Each structure stands twice: as C-alpha cells, then as structure tokens.
Structure 1
Amino acid sequence: MKGAIISFSQKGFLLSARVEAVLAERGYEVQRAVKCRALAHSIEEPLSEWTGRNFAVQDVLIFVGAASIAVRAIAPYLRSKAEDPAVLVMDELGKHCIPILSGHMGGANELAVFLGRYLMADPVITTATDLNEKWAVDVFAVKNQLHMEDLKKAKSISARLLAGEEILLAAEEDCTVEGEIPPEVKICTVCELKNSPDILVGVHRYSRWKDALYLVPRKVVLGMGCRKGTEVSKIREAAKHLLCQNGISESAVAAVASIDLKAGEEGLLTYCRQEGLEFQVYSAGELKQAEGIFSSSEFVARSVGVDNVCERSAVLASGGRLIAGKQARDGVTAAAAVADWRVIFE
C-alpha cells in the first residue's frame, strides 16, 4: 500500500511525521510533503499538480489542514468509487480525522478509525450505514476481495438496508461463509434459490438472475495450451469463448496456467500481461500428479509427455476443481478450474 501526506504549516508538518510513522508500521510506503513559505523545505510544485500526480498512483492521500483545501484540490481528479483513492483530512492539531473520499471501497473510514486510535484523534465518520450500524455491501466486498460489478445496484441495496429491509444473499457451493451474519442479511446457497437474490456471490453469472448484484472472487484459473506462435488475439478469443460458454465471469479469472514448454510463449505472455493475470507453468511430471478425471489425448502425450495440459494445469494451479472442461478453438485449448474460497462477515 502506498500513501502521500501533505501539510501546510509547521504544526501540520510535525503532525504529518507522526502520521507517517503510524502508517509505516501498518506497512504503507509513505511520501511526505509540506507547502508552506515559512519552511525551507516547502515544495515548489503547485498543490493542484501534486494532488493530480499522487491521486493517480497512491492508495491514500492525507491532507493536514483545512478540509476546504483538500476538497478543492481533489475535485478535478475524481473518477468513481471503484477507482478513487482514500482521502482523509486532519487538522494541524490532530484533533479530528475526517475521511472525505472512498470511505468504504477505498478504506478511508477504517483508516480514520485506525489513525484516531494511535494519534488520539476523533474519527469523524459520516457515511449512513456506519452511523446507523448497518451492514455495508461495499465494505464487505473490499474486505473479502470481491469484484463488485454494479455500483448502482450496491447503492440501491444500501438504501434498502437503511430503510429497514432485509436482503437475500446467495453464495455458490464452493464458498464457505464465516463470521456473524447481520440480522438484516438472509443467507442461502445458489442451489436453494427459488427467487432472484439481491446479491449473488460467486464466479458464475446466471441469466435468470440478471437483476442481482454480483460479487465476484478472483478464484478461477484458466489452463491453456496453444500451437507455437499463436497470436494473442486467438488466445483471448479462446479464453472468452470458454468463459462465455460456461457462464463464468471474466472478473473471476486470476491466473493462466500451462506446461513449462510454454513458459516463453509470447501470445500467452502478452495475454496475461494485458489482462493483469499471473502466469504459472508446470513440468509434465507435475501435471501428471494433478488429481481428478481429465480428458486424454495420445497425441498430446507423445508431444509433451502428459495426456492433457489445459485441464491438469488449471486444477493444479487453482488447487480446486474443474468447472469447464477442455475446449479447442483456432489452435488454442482452454479449461477452467476454481479454488475453494470463503467470505467472512465481521
């Protein structure tokens, strides 16, 4: 995690040093700046430029000064709840710590409470679900590393919870649910569903439940093989076709796996780089140790030393089970497996 702090006075600069120390203990890499003519080490860079540069790359920005300074500074750079960093304001005496942006998804509320505890500051939390002690779906998604596919639906669910309604959350069978479930949330498995859920937690999409808010864990591994020199476009199309045919969300994919003979295959490497996916390879001997029932090819066995690459590599890399068997398309073979996973209610 990365953060940047800026202050505007001598007292603010001294407080920012304490904030930096607390964040560093939590594992943050912190940059600290001051913009004050009375201080020799004041930065020359305009505040708007400093803010824009750091807004794009940091996980958290902290302004030690008036809240209005921070509001005006960040306004031109706001994008969305899913992209914006956490932004907090502290007064120069350290009496108050105010999250003003990305309180839930960016973690600003939680960080304000953390800083308040260690710096003896009052965290000023203004989000409605926190004030009313209601379960927050966006916080749940962030803490469980779930991709939230529709922010408008999340907002609607929060409004219903604040109005006192109960919501139905369905989880796929691979998911283990832990923790204390809030009284306003009813839980069931996908197999138990009779009506459309409000929230569906899983790696699949279901055409009959289009109105649900999907929370997607990145727990799917694509096992892939291809002819030497296969273009990245064909690899991408094969992956998309496999996912579409099996109703698997693209957001669920975390990695691609193959045999070590493909470790330098440019098409696979480029696809993983462009999609932000890990690439894992295994020897033929390791692939043979994968547990499960797999399709078998004598030709593949003679060529690479193991009867199946895509299914075996997907299962081996995920540590889970096969959810999409081998499909061949334009010289590319693909399969998908999912790891066991869990969500925790806090």
Structure 2
Amino acid sequence: MDSEKDKKRAIYCLTSKGAELGYRIKQLIGGDLFVYEKIKAEFSCLRFKRLTSLISEVFHAYREHIFITAMGIAVRGISPYIGSKEADPAVVVIDQNGRYCVSVLSGHLGGANELCKRIAELIKATPVITTATDTEGISSVELLAKKRGMHIENLSALKDVSFAMIEKEPVQLFDPDNVFPLDYPKIIKVSDETEWRKDIPGVWVSWKKTEALNNKLIVVPKSLIVGIGCNRGTKKEEIRDAVQSVFRSFGLNVKAIGLIATIDKKRDEKGILEFADEMDVAVKFFSSEELKCISVPNPSKTAEKHVRTKSVCEASAIAAVKMGQIVVPKQKFKNVTIAVALKKAH
C-alpha cells in the first residue's frame, strides 16, 4: 500500500475507464487504488474480487472513500456499515467518465463536500453537493466547529439548529469569548446564561459544563490548558482522576482541554504522556528557568527544592497561555497537582 500519509483514502474502480481515472486521482491526491481483478492495468494497484467483500474489510480503516462506480453500487456496498455523523468516513462517487463528482456521505464532519469540490476542480468535473445548508448558502455549524478544532457535545441537537437556519428562523448564540463567528443574519446573541430561551434553538459555545437540551447545540472550544505536576512514576489513572475531579468541582468541560503543560523534567513521565495520548492533546514542556520567572498564586518551597522553580502546574499553565489567565489555581492531590488556565481569544 501507499505511505502512511495516504492511508486515509481509498479509491475503488470496476471498469477500465474507471481505473484510468482512479489512477489519475491517485497521482493527484494520493490514496490506495483498488481495481477489479479482471481489469487490465499497467500501473500499480491493489486487486479485489468482490467489491462488497472488500468494503466490509476496509470501510472503517479509511477516512475517505472514492467510488468510481454507479451510485447504486456504492450505496449498496456501504449501507451495512453506516453508523453516525460523528464516526462515518467521507464517501464520494464519480462516474467513470469523470463528468460528475457526488458527495454521498459525511459531507461536513467527514469532509466529503470538501473532498468532492477538490476532486472536481482537479479533474474538471461538476461537483454535486446536496446538503441543504450548502445549497442555501448558509454557514454549516458543524463545519465551522470542525475547522476551529472544537468539539460538538450533542450532535443530536444539530438538526433543530440547522432546520431553523434553513427555514430562516431565529437562532440563539451564546459565545461569551467570541470564538465562534457564525455568519447568519437572524442570530440572537445571548450575553448571559439567564437570557437563554428554551423555545428557540441555538448554539452554546463554552468551555464550562452546561445543561443539554434537544435544541441547544453545545460547542466546546479547546480553550483550556491543564498544568500538571506529579511525583515520579504516577500512573495515568491517578492523573486522570485528579483532572476529572478538578473539572467536576469547577464546572469545566474536559472536552475543552486543548493542551497539557508541565516541566521538561517530565518529558519521560509515562503517566502524563499516556494521559495526553488518551485525551488526544499535545504536551508542552518548559524548563525550570522559564517557570521560575513566572509569578504564581501558590508558590511552593518543596517544588523549588526539587526542581528549582516554585511552581510547576500553575507556572506551566500560565506559560502555555501567555496572555491568558488562571481559572483554577493549584489543586493538590496525593501525587498530583493540577492548575487550569484559559487561552485568551484572538
């Protein structure tokens, strides 16, 4: 197969013309090219005997699927494996002559619409996109969240918000940090939680925990940096329990964690690294020289004695946000200290 960079994309071809087009697309954007075994091909490709059997094996292994087949063949092939908006990969179908490129599945979150437009432009095809927000020229809430690296807490509420926007009805927006520039003319901006109306659908953008409603789409920005200090050998589970305890106590959403920060002496601290991997966030390390210059609310003589700085968790969280602020000062546990800082909105 191709390099790891291209593993995300699979291209399926059933005819000679389709295989030629598939090879062309592979050359343009990369991917693994699967060609029906009876087709003669003078280029490198992977062979298959039955497309349905192949799809059952690889559907969840790729993030993007390009079928150069009839629409019905593609739909019948993928239908047993379609799950949800959150998990489904992008699916695009192209006719063998390359005239039409159709976005079929996971247009926004999976990226099928963007993939469709990209391929269409490259092969001079007509892109066919049927998602209502796109056909109406309305901003896609989930696509905006995806582009900004934000987490949608309750996708089930998306249908009410999207329906209201398509029907040109009012939509509420609670976005106190101004990080979600939703372009829609009938936005009702809500500046205080008490102003929220349960009878009007809307988008709630916050790093704090909030009550979920059927028509209240919760979008969580990755605005929080967790500063961590710990004793050598502290397990991932203990670190996770400490972080979750802090977030529960202070009403914060763990999905808002965008970065973990700590001292560089912890570069090989397995518990921190494993916790970061579990949360799918990066770890930023700071030297004791960098940290000792930072003023913190709760300096520690013990920390200064062992790592030559009066603070690890608070100082590293502050260092990571630069112009941000501490929202949770140091919280002490048996083997862990936790502080949380908020990135300043740009």
TM-score bracket for this pair, using the shorter chain length: 0.7 to 0.9
CA shift, 1:55, in A, is 2.4
Alpha-carbon distance in structure 2 between the residues aligned to 1:264 and 1:328? 22
The higher relative CO (CA closer than 8 Å, separation ≥ 6) is in 1
> Given the alignment of the two structures, is residue 78 of structure 1 paired with residue 82 of structure 2, yes or no?
yes
The answer to whether the 8 A contact 2:292-2:309 is kept is yes
Residue 164 of structure 2 is matched in structure 1 by 160
> Given the alignment of the two structures, is residue 313 of structure 1 paired with residue 324 of structure 2, yes or no?
no
> Given the alignment of the two structures, is residue 304 of structure 1 paired with residue 307 of structure 2, yes or no?
yes
Question: The residue matched to 2:299 in structure 1 has which SS?
Answer: coil
Alpha-carbon distance in structure 2 between the residues aligned to 1:3 and 1:321? 41
1:202 to 193, 206, 210: 206
Q: TM-score, normalised by structure 2?
A: 0.87
Output one character per residue of 1:52-108: Cα deviation in whole Å (capped at 9) or x when no partner. Answer: 443223221100011111112212222211111110000000111111100111121
Q: Which deviates more from structure 2 when the two are superposed, residues 144-153 or residues 259-268?
A: 259-268
The answer to whether the 8 A contact 2:291-2:312 is kept is yes
- How many pairs does the alignment contain? 333
Give 1:1-346 correspondences, 5 Å limit: 2-23=8-29, 29-39=30-40, 43-44=47-48, 46-173=50-177, 175-176=178-179, 181-188=183-190, 190-191=191-192, 194-196=195-197, 198-207=202-211, 212-290=216-294, 293-319=296-322, 320-341=324-345
C-alpha RMSD over aligned residues:
2.4
Q: TM-score, normalised by structure 1?
A: 0.87
The answer to whether the 8 A contact 1:4-1:32 is kept is yes
Residue 26 of structure 1 is matched in structure 2 by none
Kindly provide the amino acid, as one letter, of the partner of residue 194 in structure 1.
E
Question: The residue matched to 2:157 in structure 1 has which SS?
Answer: helix
Alpha-carbon distance in structure 1 between the residues aligned to 2:62 and 2:345? 29
CA shift, 1:176, in A, is 4.5
The answer to whether the 8 A contact 1:294-1:308 is kept is no
CA shift, 1:281, in A, is 2.1
CA shift, 1:207, in A, is 4.8
Aligned CA distance change for structure 1 residues 56 and 341 (closer, same or farther; 3 Å): farther
Q: Structure 2 unaligned runs (5+)?
A: none
Alpha-carbon distance in structure 2 between the residues aligned to 1:318 and 1:48? 50
The answer to whether the 8 A contact 1:294-1:312 is kept is no
Kindly provide the amino acid, as one letter, of the partner of residue 304 in structure 2.
A
Alpha-carbon distance in structure 1 between the residues aligned to 2:163 and 2:84? 19
The answer to whether the 8 A contact 2:48-2:54 is kept is no
Q: Structure 1 unaligned runs (5+)?
A: 24-28
